[in-house]
Amino acid sequence: MSVLVQFAIGLVFGLGLVVAGMSNPAKVLNFLDLGAIPSGGWDPSLAFVMAGGIAVTFVGYRLVLRRSQPIFGGTFHLPTSTDIDARIIAGPAIFGIGWGLAGFCPGPAFTALTVGGNPALIFVAAMMVGMGAARWLANRPAASLPVAPRA
């Protein structure tokens, strides 16, 4: 049953992305093109979609974290580390570069697979390769460094 509920939630999320136009990379690229502000070509609608998403997430986290455990799981899996490391800097930077070049981020890219043609397919394939490479890098054993002999 939980798989069906999760599927329904994902479907509603995907439909929301399509209705908001976020599966259209031109809409995203028009938002990111700040140079178009003087000519009136800038599209601020993505900012409203983001603000709506942030508001829903803020309220949702407040409500969900009041529970002793998640509905479809045994425990909450929340981050415990507050360290800023290379992964925290590199990950969002790579995401932002890909978003700015292609006009897709992961959720809308999957919804665009149904109507987006080759660009969406190429983006999703590249994203999967990148996710696999990131997982491989994160799980590889630490390289052992040679120990210098004591004098």
Q: Each residue of 81-116: pLDDT tens digit?
A: 888 888 888 888 988 888 888 888 888 888 888 876
Q: What pLDDT does 144 receive?
A: 53
Q: Burial-class residue 33 by CB neighbours within 10 Å (0-12, 13-18, 19+).
A: middle
Residues 35, 90: Cα–Cα separation, whole Å: 26
Q: Sketch the domain layout of the chain as residue ranges.
A: 2-139
| pLDDT tier at 63, thresholds 50, 70, 90 | very high
Q: What pLDDT does 147 receive?
A: 60
Give the amino acid at 17.
Answer: L
